């Protein structure tokens, strides 16, 4: 045995084992599996490790696999019933019917201990070095592996063991991927102990990861740990604030640490019985019987169709395209024509017509015409449409005839004359307005802009900044002064409006006839006298004065609601 020993995990090649032992005899399956092992080296350089019984640390995974097998068995029964129904009714089975059964059978497969022992005896007789492990072969390989040894396994968790330095992982087409522990640690930026700790905290056969903490998040946490062994690194990982907020189930990853870090496993008393393999054999045998019955039905149907079929020889190629048309060799076409001529009746000799020219006799001798089973009938062409040539139709009646009219030039369109712009409507004066429109007109006359509404604060700030640059304190003082003056003007105006409103209300309560001369003078200062057109006796000075005062009081009374709104 050379220094670089190769240690192979047999059960990691589960897909090859399943395909070999599912549809082949045990002796033939042993040879197929042995030929696959020979691709990785000779018998003197290769040590084969075979799993023993189940381990206590893997009981949860075993329960999940058993549930998956039960589900696959139920699905296999359903698919077999569908296939049997089509075979019994002599219906055509589709490809999916066979594929569904094969997939469910593959999920149901289990390599029993009896067949496994026969394979071990076969390997020992052939001269292989075989080691039967107590539990999982991974732990035994990690315990026996040396730094220069090569481990061959399809399991991705083999690099979680700190004693395995080189891993060959088989892939399709007889190739394998070579992993170096040093290169993996260098790429991830981890130490060997951190890599083992990372394998413990992520999902594996011995437990699930903490919810919402995947491999990338766990890697970022473990990279900053300062522990020297996997247990201390996992403890530091669990003490992280982010991990503690997510670890609601209080996971400790003790099972994974026991296997990957301590390389220990406890044999389990619950072992998988061989009844699983017996049920698999029963379903497989049923499937093979159905396949034989289907082939027999197909062969009978093809024989019946061939006996009732007639050879068809086309006189010329079909004008329609056929996307599934196959190209036949000249030998096949010649045999078909020969078989057709044998089954045809002898041709009827027809008398030679002397009127036919014999100038092309050489071409007819080289390329004779095909013999036909029946003489084609040539029918004259018949058309339902009568053709009488050019016809002269009578002239239409006078009412339908068109009279010639001379051409007239179209009239030029006149441009629309633009009218002068109308003057905007003037507001009704107080003297002409009715009592209903008095209030609206007075409100329009009193329309004003509030000082603070007309003052743009943004423009004020911008102008102050331009006028007083780099003087923040002075800018703020100037703005406060201007805004304070504006607010004070608005307050004084509101107070004056309230004063006028209270004065007018007082005059209204006194009455128009009892207003003094002083009050009349004050009203004339507040509002100019307004004449009323409905007053007929214009010569009476007293009546005119009384009418004027009444109009002023009415104007002020209409002003009061506006004052209330301003409050």
Q: How confident is the model at residue 330 (pLDDT cuts 50, 70, 90)?
A: low
Average pLDDT over residues 236-247: 92
Average pLDDT over residues 497-505: 85
Under 8 Å between Cβ of 132 and 120: yes
Structure tokens of 214?
């995947």
Under 8 Å between Cβ of 157 and 135: no
Which residue bears the tokens 């409050």? 567
The predicted pLDDT at position 96 comes to 93
DSSP per position, 85-126 = HHHHTTPPPPHHHHHHHHHHHHHH----HHHHHHHHHHHHHH
**Which residue would you say has higher pLDDT here, 219 or 316?**
219
The predicted pLDDT at position 120 comes to 94
Residues 426 and 423: their CA atoms lie apart, in Å, by 8
Q: How confident is the model at residue 41 (pLDDT cuts 50, 70, 90)?
A: confident
Q: How confident is the model at residue 239 (pLDDT cuts 50, 70, 90)?
A: very high
Q: Count H helices, E strands: the chain?
A: 21, 6
Burial of 176 per CB tally in 10 Å (0-12, 13-18, 19+): middle
Identity of the highest mean pLDDT range in 2-16, 329-343, 402-416: 2-16
**Helix axes 541-566 and 517-526, enclosed angle (nearest 10):** 60
Residues 442 and 430: their CA atoms lie apart, in Å, by 8
Residues 430 and 531: their CA atoms lie apart, in Å, by 9
Q: How many CA atoms within 13 Å lie on the side-chain side of 210?
A: 23
Query: Using CA of residue 470, residue 471, residue 473, residue 479, what is the dihedral sign?
Result: negative
Residues 132 and 120: their CA atoms lie apart, in Å, by 9
pLDDT of residue 542 exceeding 60: no
The predicted pLDDT at position 407 comes to 84
Which pTM value belongs to this model? Answer: 0.54
Q: How confident is the model at residue 183 (pLDDT cuts 50, 70, 90)?
A: very high
Q: How confident is the model at residue 231 (pLDDT cuts 50, 70, 90)?
A: very high
**Which residue would you say has higher pLDDT here, 324 or 46?**
46
> Average pLDDT of the chain?
79
pLDDT of residue 450 exceeding 60: no
pLDDT tens-place string over residues 137-160: 999 999 999 999 999 999 888 999
DSSP per position, 214-256 = -HHHHHHHHTT---SSHHHHHHHHHTSHHHHHH-TT----HHH
The residue among 107, 133, 136, 135 whose CA lies nearest residue 120 is 133
The predicted pLDDT at position 132 comes to 93
Residues 6+ apart with CB under 8 A from 333: none
pLDDT of residue 540 exceeding 60: no
pLDDT of residue 380 exceeding 80: no
Residues 489 and 451: their CA atoms lie apart, in Å, by 8
The residue among 156, 152, 235 whose CA lies nearest residue 193 is 235
DSSP per position, 476-501 = HHHHHHHHHHHHHHHHHHHHHHHHHH
Under 8 Å between Cβ of 475 and 538: no
Residues 101 and 78: their CA atoms lie apart, in Å, by 9
Longest dimension (CA), the chain: 152
Q: How many CB atoms lie within 10 A of CB 208?
A: 12
* DSSP conformational letter for 49: E
Least confident among 9-23, 133-147, 541-555 = 541-555
**Which residue would you say has higher pLDDT here, 153 or 421?**
153
Identity of the highest mean pLDDT range in 86-100, 320-334, 470-484: 86-100
Q: How confident is the model at residue 374 (pLDDT cuts 50, 70, 90)?
A: low
The predicted pLDDT at position 307 comes to 64
The predicted pLDDT at position 496 comes to 87
**Which residue would you say has higher pLDDT here, 200 or 450?**
200
Average pLDDT over residues 414-439: 64
pLDDT of residue 59 exceeding 70: yes
Least confident among 358-367, 391-400, 479-488 = 358-367
Least confident among 38-47, 196-205, 408-417, 435-444 = 435-444
pLDDT of residue 427 exceeding 60: no
Q: How confident is the model at residue 423 (pLDDT cuts 50, 70, 90)?
A: confident
Q: How confident is the model at residue 377 (pLDDT cuts 50, 70, 90)?
A: low
The residue among 544, 542, 506, 541 whose CA lies nearest residue 522 is 506
Residues 117 and 120: their CA atoms lie apart, in Å, by 5
* DSSP conformational letter for 367: S
Q: Count Cβ neighbours within 10 Å for each residue of 15-49 and write b for 16 or more, e otherwise.
A: ebbbebbbeeeeeebbeebbebbeeebeeeebbbb
Phi-psi region of 368 (alpha: psi -120 to 50; beta: other; left: phi over 0): beta
pLDDT of residue 441 exceeding 90: no
Percent of the chain, pLDDT > 70?
71
Average pLDDT over residues 384-402: 71
């Amino acid at each position: 045995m050379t220094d670089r020993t190769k240690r192979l995990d047999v059960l990691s090649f589960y897909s090859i084992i399943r395909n070999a032992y599912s549809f082949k005899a045990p002796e033939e399956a042993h040879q197929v599996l042995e030929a696959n092992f020979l691709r990785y080296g000779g018998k003197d350089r290769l040590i084969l490790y075979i799993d023993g019984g189940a381990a206590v640390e893997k009981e949860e995974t075993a329960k999940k696999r058993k549930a998956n097998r039960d589900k696959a068995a139920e699905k296999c029964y359903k698919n077999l019933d569908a296939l049997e129904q089509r075979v019994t009714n002599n219906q055509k089975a589709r490809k999916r019917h066979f594929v569904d059964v094969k997939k469910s059978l593959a999920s149901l497969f289990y390599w029993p201990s009896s067949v496994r022992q026969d394979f071990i005896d076969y390997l020992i007789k052939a001269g292989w070095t075989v080691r039967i492990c107590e539990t999982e072969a991974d732990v035994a390989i990690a315990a026996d592996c040396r730094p220069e040894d090569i481990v061959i396994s399809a399991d991705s968790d083999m690099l979680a063991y700190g004693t395995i330095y080189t891993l060959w992982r088989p892939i399709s087409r007889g190739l394998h991927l070579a992993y170096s522990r040093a290169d993996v640690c260098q790429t991830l930026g981890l130490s060997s102990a951190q890599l083992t700790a990372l394998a413990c905290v992520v999902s594996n056969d011995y437990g699930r990861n903490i919810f919402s903490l995947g491999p990338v998040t766990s890697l970022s946490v473990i990279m900053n740990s300062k522990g020297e062994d996997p247990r201390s690194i996992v403890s530091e990982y669990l003490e992280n604030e982010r991990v503690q907020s997510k670890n609601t189930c209080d996971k400790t990853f003790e099972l994974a640490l026991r296997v990957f870090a301590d390389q220990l496993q406890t044999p389990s008393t619950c072992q998988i019985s061989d009844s699983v393999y017996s049920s698999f054999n029963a379903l497989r045998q049923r499937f093979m019987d159905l396949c034989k019955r289907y082939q027999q039905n197909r062969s009978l149907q093809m024989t019946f169709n061939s006996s009732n079929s007639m050879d068809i020889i086309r006189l010329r190629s079909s004008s329609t395209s056929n996307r599934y048309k196959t190209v036949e060799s000249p030998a096949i076409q010649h045999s078909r024509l020969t078989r057709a001529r044998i089954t045809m009746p002898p041709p009827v000799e027809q008398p030679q017509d002397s009127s036919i020219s014999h100038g092309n006799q050489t071409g007819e001798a080289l390329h004779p015409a095909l013999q036909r089973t029946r003489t084609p009938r040539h029918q004259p062409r018949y058309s339902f449409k009568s053709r009488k040539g050019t016809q002269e139709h009578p002239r239409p009646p006078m009412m339908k005839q068109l009279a010639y009219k001379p051409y007239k030039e179209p009239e030029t369109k006149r441009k629309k004359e633009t009218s002068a712009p109308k003057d905007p409507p003037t507001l009704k004066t107080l003297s002409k307005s009715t009592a209903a429109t008095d209030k609206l007109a007075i409100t329009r006359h009193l329309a004003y802009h509030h000082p603070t509404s007309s003052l743009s604060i943004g423009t004020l700030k911008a102008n102050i900044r331009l006028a007083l640059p780099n003087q923040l304190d002075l800018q703020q003082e100037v703005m406060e002064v201007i805004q304070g003056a504006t607010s004070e003007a608005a307050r004084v105006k509101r107070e004056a409006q309230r004063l006028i409103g209270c004065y007018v209300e007082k005059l209204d309560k006194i009455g128009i006839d009892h207003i003094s001369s002083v009050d009349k003078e004050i009203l004339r200062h507040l509002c100019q006298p307004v004449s009323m057109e409905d007053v007929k006796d214009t010569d009476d000075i007293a009546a005119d004065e009384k009418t004027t005062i009444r109009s002023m009081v009415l104007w002020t009374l209409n002003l009061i609601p506006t004052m209330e709104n301003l409050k």
